[in-house]
Every structure is written in structure tokens, then in C-alpha cells.
Amino acid sequence: MSAHKQHKLAPVEKLVKVTFELETSDWHDHATETMWAAVVDERTYTIRNVPFYVYGVSYGDVVVAERKGGERLFRRVYQRGGHSTYRIFLVDEKMQKEFEIAWKPLDALGCTYERATDYLVAVDVPADSDIYAAYSALEKGMDAGSWDFEEGHCGHPVQ
């Protein structure tokens, strides 16, 4: 997985994996997704990945997880971090050039991304970014045929 621009982590953060159980009927065919998270205390963790498959969680959210065996299983969101998550679906790997061009307005807004595959890109819209401008840029990329997209979680206040 690569990132366009990586989020800066505090050097003292201890990162662990938190496992999210997924519905088997979802489009991706995965039973779980694990994400890196910074330890807040023995039960709460701050998410440090952009979710590829999980809905309702974004980078920076603080979650409660229960230890079960060797895993930390997600139970609920404790506090929102204000970020939003979108997923871009590229038609094929040849779309990289079009992606790079269509990505520029999102980059200018401070958005970052992580790639799950050649076709699936998870986008983080930071809390201080203009969510309306980001959504508009995602729509323009879709209208131009550069990608399809969906919302994983909107953590920004909207009216």
C-alpha cells in the first residue's frame, strides 16, 4: 500500500492493529479489515489508517476495542476525529495518468490517499479541509471518467 502524502505520526505513538468485522454480503468479499491505531489506553485507540472497506469510521477517530485472543476487536466509535473517508474505484490500471490529473484539486485541499489495489483508493479528507470542495472534486473526477467513488464516512459538519 502506498500513500500520496502520509499523515505525520507523533514519534511517541505506539501503534497496534485493530480488527473490524465486516458484513460478508459487502461488495469486497472480506470478513475483516485491520487498521493501524495509536494506543490511547487499554481499551481506546486512535485510527491511523484510511479505511478501505469499513463504513462509519475515518482516520483520527478514537475507537473502543475489546481484546479477544491476540486481536483487538472494534466495538464502537468513542470520539470523532472530524475526518471524512471516500473510496475511489478506478476502471483499470491504465487509469493512473487520469487519476493523477483528477487528484490535483484534492491534493490542493490537503487530502491524502492510500491504495489497497490498482483499482481501489481510500481517500482521507482532513478535518480542516473544505468538504464541499472535496466532494465536488470527487464528482468532477467521476464525471470526467477518471473514477467512480463512494462515501465511507462523512465526519465533517454538513448542512
Residue 155 has pLDDT above 60, yes or no: yes
Residues of the domain holding 24: 15-79
CA distance 70 to 56: 24
**Average pLDDT for 117-144:** 94
- What confidence tens digit (pLDDT) does each residue in 9-66 have? 556 688 999 999 998 766 677 889 999 999 999 999 999 999 999 999 999 999 999 9
Reported confidence tier of residue 8, pLDDT bands at 50, 70, 90 = low
More confident residue, 2 or 105: 105
Q: Are 76 and 82 in contact (CB under 8 A)?
A: no
pTM: 0.87
**Average pLDDT for 131-135:** 97
Looking at residue 94, its amino acid is K
- 15: which strand partners? 38
Reported confidence tier of residue 151, pLDDT bands at 50, 70, 90 = very high
Last residue of a domain, one of 79, 97, 122: 79
**Dihedral of the CA atoms 46, 8, 120, 102 (nearest 10)?**
130
Count of domains observed in the chain = 2
- What confidence tens digit (pLDDT) does each residue in 82-121 have? 999 999 999 776 677 888 889 999 999 999 999 988 889 9
Q: Does residue 68 share a domain with residue 88? A: no
Q: Does residue 148 share a domain with residue 122? A: yes
Q: Are 71 and 19 in contact (CB under 8 A)?
A: yes
Q: Does residue 65 share a domain with residue 32? A: yes
Task: Give the contacts of 29 (CB within 8 A, at least 6 positions apart).
Answer: none
Cell 479505511, residue located: 51
Closest CA to 62 of 44, 50, 74: 44
Closest CA to 21 of 35, 9, 40: 35
The confidence score (pLDDT) of residue 159 equals: 80
Last residue of a domain, one of 48, 79, 110: 79
Reported confidence tier of residue 1, pLDDT bands at 50, 70, 90 = very low
CA distance 23 to 53: 10
